[in-house]
Chain A
Amino acid sequence: MSDINKNRTSNTIKKVLQYIKKYWGFVMMSLLFAAVTVALTLYIPNLTGKAIDLIIDKGLVDFDGIWSILIQIAVLTVVAALAQWFMNACNNKITYGVVKDIRDNAFMKIEKLPLKYIDGHPYGDTVSRVIADADQFADGLLMGFTQLFTGVVTILGTVGFMIAINWKIALAVVILTPISFFVAKFIAGRTHDMFKKQSETRGEQTALIDEMIGNQKVVQAYGQEKKVLERFDQVNDRLAKYSLKAVFFSSLTNPCTRFVNNLVYAVVAVFGGFISITSGAISVGQLTCLLSYANQYTKPFNEISGVITELQNSLVCASRVIELIEEESVTPDAADAVKLRDAKGNVTLENVSFSYVPERRLIEKFNLSVKSGQRIAIVGPTGCGKTTLINLLMRFYDVNEGDILIDGVSVKKMTRKSLRQLFGMVLQETWLKAGTIKENIAMGKPDATDEEIIAAAKAAHAHGFIKRLPNGYNTIIGEDGGSLSQGQKQLLCITRVMLMKPPMLILDEATSSIDTRTEIRIQKAFDALMEGRTSFIVAHRLSTIQEADVILVMKDGNIIEQGNHEELMRQNGFYHDLYNSQYA
């Protein structure tokens, strides 16, 4: 398992590096600025030490010397500060740029994912990959850039300066410091499990919140608030327990390494003191300077251990986003795919076989020939797979075997976009985007004029309610249609298609939430629109489909009967039963 993990991690690192490549110039600049910053921040105390060395006692002060050193300090301080600011600006640019690129790629992938993936994964999970995981990754990356590199440079720099002053003390410090690494590692090992448990429990809790708050109405209707709260509290308490341990133990790293550092500091003081007394090889100013380096030298060790855990964590997050990006796309349109501008509407299904999962056969060797202008109705009991045919026609899913032809051209030989533009589709599950009513209606025809939009809305009988909204057609509706009723949302979706005037029409329970009076009026508008065009209608209201040219009767995913109303009634089969039960 750890091998797989390692592979995955190294794969992730490779991918991340590829994203960073684009910002190579900024990375180099950042490194340069970091080196300047560190070098100067380390050199300045050295200068201070020298200045102090020039202050010996009453009357023994070299003011000229001090003055020139102080001028140097002032200049270097300004340079260091600027370098640091530029470094930070570079790091921000790199980090946020990389994350944006990753996010954009992830989103482009979402647009290309097979519907199978989208249908099969909780939306919340995908969203959290694009949002939360990418964010965590950004935090880690930024911290890595700002602290890891400066940390390493600081360590190297301080060792260098210390050696320059007194190699013996430098050696003592170098030998002692790994202790703090061991301490940090020991603690990190212990806390890893706690962190894992914490994030697992957090996931569990998020799922619960999603489920319960998403369906608040039902919770309230059954007065389950207390029970749900109890369940929530159980998870919450567990989370608190793990969090406390994770937070506490991980926060031990700092005090412990600081303790080690303080020891190092004491050793330098004593050792330096001895050397100064016995041989005078170290001046007092140098000793102060050494002490200050010892202090600075050990600090990055703390930070680096923190940064490494943070980086590990952020790599896990990055791998989740990258996993999404590397998810298989829909097969791309063939290079020579044609763009159908218009279609007469002859649709042929040849030997079509399809199933969502291999174990469960669904449609097998299905043949159908629809002539231009015909109306095809699909009926059947609840959950019989009526929507499957539509998934295939629109190429949301691809057939396993056989072919679907439109005006004699295989759907696989045309671009998906042009295929889909041939159809106007209204689904039972309405979907509206956050934006104005007008934007939502004009989705299929962004250049539509206001007159066209209003005409379409009138045809769909949506004009009346839109007019009554606070800002009419410019009313902004929230996520998922906000406070509109299901029926109103459906009317808007119908308006959308009315405006588009597509060559073919797919209505999947399109009027299920609309009252029948309005429905009949809309139907008339549809009829006018569909004059001479092909339409596919899924419905459970048999009245809407009686006049269809072909009725497909489906049961358990299979098409069991096929024909027009009279033929099917004469067959005295499943359709006959279905029809009679409706008016029993």
Chain B
Amino acid sequence: MKQIWIYMKNYKKETVLAPLFKMLEACFELCVPLVIAEITDRGILAGDKGYVARMGGILFILAAVGLLCSVVAQYFSARAAVGVATKLRHGLFKHIESLSFTEIDSVGTSTLITRMTSDINQVQSGVNMFLRLFLRSPFIVFGAMIMAFTINVKAALIFVVTIIVLSVVVFAIILYTIPMYKKVQAALDRVLGITRENLTGARVIRAFGMEEDEIEEYNDRTDKLVRLQIGVGKISALMNPVTFVIINVATIILVWTGAVQVDTDVLTRGDVIALVSYMSQILVELVKLANLIVTLTKAVACGNRIKTVFDVETSIKTGKKEEDAFESGDVSEAFSGNEKIVDDNVAHNSYEYAVEFVHASYMYKGASEESLNDMDFKIKRGTTVGIIGGTGSGKSTLVQMIPRFYDVSSGEIKVDGKNVKSYALDELRDKIGIVLQKAVLFKGTIKDNLLWGNANATDEEIYEALDIAQAREFVDGKPEGIETMIEQGGKNLSGGQKQRLTIARAVIRRPEILILDDSSSALDFATDAKLRKALKNISDTGKTTVIIVSQRASAIMHADNIIVLDDGEISGMGAHNELMETNEVYREIYHSQNAMR
């Protein structure tokens, strides 16, 4: 909820004006019973038709002014609601973008997507309703009470008691149902989860003949959902009947005491009529309110779900950009200030080592053991380094720590002699081109996708990158060449084609450090060999340092330096020939892959 209030602040004017005009409208509405009382008491009793007609005119004016106020109120509340939702979406999207891999891994993509879409929509209608009715309704209720006071204090006390009882009941129901709605949403999440799972895993489920079991489990989950829905439905359905009873009981008392007071000449009959109609106005208002309380309760539940995402803080704080360090005023939110900028005078591009690991270790959240332990090595500028090791040996984690997708739990990592934590994130990542294991492309043309790597690349540079990535041939084979549209998720390309394009996307940046994280696994050996040769050429220019992670010895054996990882530890370092002699693990890997030779 707190987040919503923060965003409401941007719409102060709207949030004040919408309820204000709503109240004005309500004021005019509250005058109606007074006018009616005039008609009955003065007009009809006196038989004054002209007076009745004049009062009719006043009713018309009240209606017209009420309409005007209401339109204004609707406009402002729509503006505030849509505005808050828009800002909230923007803020949440931005926040999610700032999260590091660790957090995204643990929250889960599908959760984030529902928070961004349906939850925010619920909040939007909630805000809208809140501005329109949550202030109007209490206003009418209290207004009716005040009007009652102007008529007769004793009668008005009945209103006071009624309102107290009503608020207790309404709030009790709201407070009781909010946690229930949360449970409903959570149950829905579980239904969504299994639906998604059965689509992504259709092959495996069918291969294992699990359809029946899955249907059974699904039915269990929908059963549970329905039970929760009906349970909460029962409670919120109490709202209307209970308020109805309370109001009618109040009316009965009102009529009775009214009768007594008319009898003793304290009140007129017109007064009693006005009092009763005020009471029924309260009822009408509460009926409206009851329907909206459901909307609002849902909105609060959804708002809390959104808040939990906002509460996830990124564990990776950016350092400060060097040029910014000299400007004062503009302190962006990105700046965390936990790292002082090291004002060393290293001329970065001439620094001998591109990457240094200084006793760096990493431990996954919730894991008992370190998955990388005491990494300590240096990578010279312009060399090619291979990293090899078994499944789960920590290869990917190791290289993903360089662009700070994960942060060290102890020790430090330096790029160009400077701790990665003291770089601004985009400055650091600008230096690096990383190709991830999972080849991801976006909807758009091939060219659009490659321009992600370097927005200013010319067509010539694009083709050059495609050449290096061994993607030229198949791209040229497409009728539209680099203008070929890629569908969402790259569905119209094969795995190997996607991998080559992702490599081209990294190459086109001409990064200082190019990292290939097991990203040629879908390539056949011939293509892989050509790719390696082309990469070797880039690193030979001395400008680019290439780091290749692979499980295939053939992919890294020609590297200048090879790091062998085994179960989170460095088991050996050196060139191929050296390692063949000295390193048991490396030898075993090599022989396992070349067994027949």
Q: Is B575 among interface residues, defined by CB-CB distance under 8 A?
A: no
**Besides A97-B226, A228-B97, A236-B93, 6 other A-B contacts (C-beta < 8 A):** A96-B230, A131-B195, A244-B82, A259-B63, A259-B66, A493-B204
Q: Are A284 and B273 in contact (CB under 8 A)?
A: yes
Task: Tell me if B's interface is mostly helix, strand, loop or mixed.
Answer: helix
With A48-B255, A61-B259 known to touch, is A420 a contact of B442 (CB < 8 Å)?
Answer: no
Residues in chain A near residue B392, CB distance under 8 A: 465, 485, 487-488
Q: Are B214 and A111 in contact (CB under 8 A)?
A: yes
With A270-B52, A465-B392 known to touch, is A291 a contact of B452 (CB < 8 Å)?
Answer: no
Which residues of chain B from 212 to 255 have a CB within 8 Å of any chain A CB?
213-215, 218-219, 222-223, 225-226, 229-230, 233-234, 237-238, 240-242, 244-245, 248-249, 251-252, 255
Residues in chain B near residue A578, CB distance under 8 A: 524-526
Residues in chain B near residue A103, CB distance under 8 A: 191, 222
Q: Is B327 among interface residues, defined by CB-CB distance under 8 A?
A: no
Q: Is B485 among interface residues, defined by CB-CB distance under 8 A?
A: no
Counted as pairs of residues, one from A and one from B, with CB atoms less than 8 Å apart, the total is 469
Which residues of chain A from 495 to 549 have a CB within 8 Å of any chain B CB?
496, 500, 512-520, 540-543, 546
Which residues of chain B from 302 to 360 have a CB within 8 Å of any chain A CB?
none
Q: Are A433 and B197 in contact (CB under 8 A)?
A: yes
Closest A-chain residue to B232, C-beta based? A92
Which residues of chain B from 369 to 417 have a CB within 8 Å of any chain A CB?
369, 389-393, 396, 403, 405
Which residues of chain B from 4 to 59 have a CB within 8 Å of any chain A CB?
25, 32, 35-36, 39-40, 43-44, 47-49, 52-53, 55-56, 59
Chain A to chain B contacts (Cβ below 8 Å), 30 pairs: A51-B259, A52-B255, A55-B258, A58-B262, A58-B264, A81-B245, A82-B241, A92-B233, A211-B443, A211-B488, A213-B104, A213-B112, A216-B96, A218-B440, A223-B425, A223-B430, A254-B74, A266-B59, A267-B56, A269-B36, A269-B52, A269-B56, A273-B44, A288-B273, A382-B496, A382-B497, A394-B207, A516-B592, A518-B390, A581-B529
The smallest beta-carbon distance between A576 and chain B, in angstroms, is 12
Q: Are B229 and A92 in contact (CB under 8 A)?
A: yes
The smallest beta-carbon distance between B287 and chain A, in angstroms, is 9
Residues in chain B near residue A113, CB distance under 8 A: 202
Q: Is A276 among interface residues, defined by CB-CB distance under 8 A?
A: yes
Residues in chain A near residue B176, CB distance under 8 A: none
The 8 A CB mask of B83-124 against A (1 = contact, 0 = none) is: 101100110011011110100111011101100111001001
Q: Are B551 and A516 in contact (CB under 8 A)?
A: yes
Q: Are B244 and A70 in contact (CB under 8 A)?
A: no
Closest B-chain residue to A519, C-beta based? B592
**Please, how many angstroms separate the alpha-carbon atoms of A97 and B593 in the complex?**
59
Q: Are A223 and B426 in contact (CB under 8 A)?
A: yes
Q: Are B248 and A73 in contact (CB under 8 A)?
A: yes
Q: Are A581 and B526 in contact (CB under 8 A)?
A: yes
Q: Are B195 and A77 in contact (CB under 8 A)?
A: no
Q: Are B207 and A255 in contact (CB under 8 A)?
A: no
The 8 A CB mask of A252-288 against B (1 = contact, 0 = none) is: 1011101100110111011001101110000010011
Residues in chain A near residue B426, CB distance under 8 A: 223, 225
**Please, how many angstroms separate the alpha-carbon atoms of A482 and B219 in the complex?**
25
The smallest beta-carbon distance between A22 and chain B, in angstroms, is 14
Closest B-chain residue to A248, C-beta based? B78
With A479-B196, A515-B390 known to touch, is A425 a contact of B215 (CB < 8 Å)?
Answer: no
Q: Are B252 and A70 in contact (CB under 8 A)?
A: yes
Q: Is A389 among interface residues, defined by CB-CB distance under 8 A?
A: no
Closest A-chain residue to B108, C-beta based? A479
5 tightest Cβ-Cβ pairs between the two chains A and B:
A382-B496, A383-B494, A487-B391, A581-B526, A88-B237
**Please, how many angstroms separate the alpha-carbon atoms of A224 and B425 in the complex?**
12
Q: Are B390 and A517 in contact (CB under 8 A)?
A: yes
Q: Are A431 and B203 in contact (CB under 8 A)?
A: yes
Q: Is A59 among interface residues, defined by CB-CB distance under 8 A?
A: yes
The smallest beta-carbon distance between A514 and chain B, in angstroms, is 5
**Please, how many angstroms separate the alpha-carbon atoms of A388 and B71 in the complex?**
62
- The total of chain B residues at the interface (CB under 8 A) is 178
With A104-B219, A111-B211, A123-B196 known to touch, is A381 a contact of B524 (CB < 8 Å)?
Answer: yes
Q: Is A423 among interface residues, defined by CB-CB distance under 8 A?
A: yes
The smallest beta-carbon distance between A25 and chain B, in angstroms, is 16
Q: Are A515 and B488 in contact (CB under 8 A)?
A: no
Q: Is B210 among interface residues, defined by CB-CB distance under 8 A?
A: yes
Q: Are B258 and A485 in contact (CB under 8 A)?
A: no
Q: Are B233 and A433 in contact (CB under 8 A)?
A: no
Q: Is B175 among interface residues, defined by CB-CB distance under 8 A?
A: no
The smallest beta-carbon distance between A221 and chain B, in angstroms, is 5
Q: Are A273 and B43 in contact (CB under 8 A)?
A: yes
Q: Are A584 and B529 in contact (CB under 8 A)?
A: yes
Q: Are B276 and A427 in contact (CB under 8 A)?
A: no
Task: Tell me if A's interface is mostly helix, strand, loop or mixed.
Answer: helix
**Please, how many angstroms separate the alpha-carbon atoms of A118 and B204 in the complex?**
13
Which residues of chain B from 443 to 500 have a CB within 8 Å of any chain A CB?
443, 452-453, 488-489, 494-497
Which residues of chain A from 193 to 232 have a CB within 8 Å of any chain B CB?
202, 205-207, 209-225, 228-229, 232
Which residues of chain A from 385 to 438 have a CB within 8 Å of any chain B CB?
394, 396, 416-417, 420-421, 423, 425, 427, 431, 433-434
Closest A-chain residue to B199, C-beta based? A123
Q: Is A173 among interface residues, defined by CB-CB distance under 8 A?
A: no
Q: Is A93 among interface residues, defined by CB-CB distance under 8 A?
A: yes
**Please, how many angstroms separate the alpha-carbon atoms of A206 and B109 in the complex?**
13
**Please, how many angstroms separate the alpha-carbon atoms of A568 and B214 in the complex?**
45
Q: Is A108 among interface residues, defined by CB-CB distance under 8 A?
A: yes
Q: Is B200 among interface residues, defined by CB-CB distance under 8 A?
A: yes
Q: Are B368 and A77 in contact (CB under 8 A)?
A: no
Q: Is B206 among interface residues, defined by CB-CB distance under 8 A?
A: yes
Q: Are B436 and A221 in contact (CB under 8 A)?
A: yes
With A213-B116, A221-B403, A251-B78 known to touch, is A52 a contact of B269 (CB < 8 Å)?
Answer: yes
Closest B-chain residue to A416, C-beta based? B206
The 8 A CB mask of B167-206 against A (1 = contact, 0 = none) is: 0000000000000000000001001111111111111111
Closest B-chain residue to A219, C-beta based? B97
The smallest beta-carbon distance between A285 and chain B, in angstroms, is 8
**Please, how many angstroms separate the alpha-carbon atoms of A543 and B592 in the complex?**
9
Q: Is A66 among interface residues, defined by CB-CB distance under 8 A?
A: yes
Q: Is B62 among interface residues, defined by CB-CB distance under 8 A?
A: yes
Q: Are A262 and B36 in contact (CB under 8 A)?
A: no
Q: Are B39 and A269 in contact (CB under 8 A)?
A: yes
Closest B-chain residue to A229, C-beta based? B94
Q: Are A217 and B101 in contact (CB under 8 A)?
A: yes
Closest A-chain residue to B455, C-beta based? A227
The 8 A CB mask of B415-437 against A (1 = contact, 0 = none) is: 00000000001100110101011
Q: Are A51 and B497 in contact (CB under 8 A)?
A: no
**Please, how many angstroms separate the alpha-carbon atoms of A104 and B220 in the complex?**
10
Q: Are B368 and A277 in contact (CB under 8 A)?
A: no
